[in-house]
Structure 1
Amino acid sequence: MSSPRLEKITTDNVLAACAIAVRPDQEGLVAPVARSLAEAYVQPDVAWPRLIVDGDRPVGFLMAFFNVPWREDDPTDVRSGLWRLNIAANQQGRGYGRFAVESLAEEVRRRGSTRLITTWVPGEHGPERFYRRLGFRLTGELSGEQVVGELDL
């Protein structure tokens, strides 16, 4: 890993972003990048999609949200978090996921929040160990069928 960075999704890199694919055993655990970009397109005030690039190589994709009401029954519960993280199958285990989460944590702090949340599908091939190693703790909540993790910043 040289010096990875986050880039906005543009007409110049959208196809490279859509070509990012996780390992086959992870496909049911995270939506494909194309679906994430479609969701970002219809929710431009919520979604913050970024391509993870190292040198000139796309190595992953993340999508975040900032200061969004989390629960309909409690409008004061406003959160920022990691919505999607896709690291290319052949780039996993090289620190790009950690870089992405740490970069997002900096952005969340810059925007005035003190915690970062994410959700994941529990299971054998799921990312729980990865998130727990980064300091996320389980909140005891579910978002649909996904568990919610929180990282204090």
Structure 2
Amino acid sequence: MTALRLTEVTTGNVRDACRLAVAPHQQEHVALVAQSLAEAYAQPDVAWPRLIYADDELVGFVMGCFDPDCPIEYFRCGIWRLNIADGQQGKGYGRFAVEAVLDEARRRGSDAATVFWVPGEHGPERFYLRLGFRPTGRIVEGQVLGRLEL
């Protein structure tokens, strides 16, 4: 049985994190991990970046956001990024990571979480819908805004 875990980004794993790549047909749907880490560095009190390991293999990256006082409701709690490595999708790693962010949201007292996705054939819409997120009807900078009540 594979042991899944999230870990913080450290000096010992940041290079591996930056090399993590999604499948070529998904590159237009997600930001590079290096870009996400730069955004996390600029907002350390809000961003919650974590690496996803299956046993000792790096298989993905997830970044939650927690800013309960943000004046924009959909930025108060949610998933900013999810990158699963090329060849690693369909193994439950993304679900594990999203559930971990949602657990952290509940621990922090959030009552809902949001996520944005780029619509399209190879986009993550079906994945997020299966996890219970529902489109809000809003499109923000070309991305669908989904919401899940906790």
TM-score (norm 2): 0.94
Confirm or deny that 1:3 pairs with 2:9.
Answer: no
- Specify every segment of 5 or more residues in structure 2 that has no aligned partner in the other structure, as ranges: none
Query: Mean Cα displacement is larger for which, 52-61 or 38-47?
Result: 38-47
Q: Distance in 2 between matches of 1:88 and 1:47?
A: 21
Confirm or deny that 1:139 pairs with 2:142.
Answer: no
CA contact 2:65–2:75 (8 Å) conserved in 1: no
- Specify every segment of 5 or more residues in structure 1 that has no aligned partner in the other structure, as ranges: none
Q: Distance in 2 between matches of 1:46 and 1:100?
A: 18
Q: CA deviation at 1:78?
A: 6.1
Q: Deviations 1:88-131 (Å, cap 9, x if unpaired)?
A: 01111100000001111100000000111100100111000000
CA contact 2:62–2:82 (8 Å) conserved in 1: yes
- In the alignment, what sits opposite 1:49? 49
Read off the aligned partner of 2:5 and give its amino acid letter. R
- In the alignment, what sits opposite 1:20? 20
- Local SS of the residue matching 2:103: helix
Q: Relative to 1, partners in 2 of residues 1:60 and 1:40: Cα closer, same or farther, differing over 3 Å?
A: same
- In the alignment, what sits opposite 1:31? 31
- In the alignment, what sits opposite 2:77? 80
RMSD between aligned residues: 1.4
Read off the aligned partner of 1:26 and give its amino acid letter. Q
- In the alignment, what sits opposite 1:151? 148
Q: Relative to 1, partners in 2 of residues 1:10 and 1:106: Cα closer, same or farther, differing over 3 Å?
A: same
TM-score (norm 1): 0.92
Read off the aligned partner of 1:124 and give its amino acid letter. E
Q: Deviations 1:7-62 (Å, cap 9, x if unpaired)?
A: 00000110111111111011011001011011111111221110001111100001
User: Where is the strand percentage greater, Structure 1 or Structure 2?
Assistant: 1
Q: Distance in 2 between matches of 1:131 and 1:111?
A: 22
- Local SS of the residue matching 1:89: coil
Read off the aligned partner of 1:136 and give its amino acid letter. F
- Local SS of the residue matching 2:87: helix
Read off the aligned partner of 2:61 and give its amino acid letter. F
Q: Distance in 2 between matches of 1:59 and 1:86?
A: 9
Q: Distance in 1 between matches of 2:64 and 2:75?
A: 14
Give the share of equivalent positions with the same residue, in percent. 59
Confirm or deny that 1:129 pairs with 2:112.
Answer: no
Q: CA deviation at 1:139?
A: 0.6
Confirm or deny that 1:111 pairs with 2:108.
Answer: yes
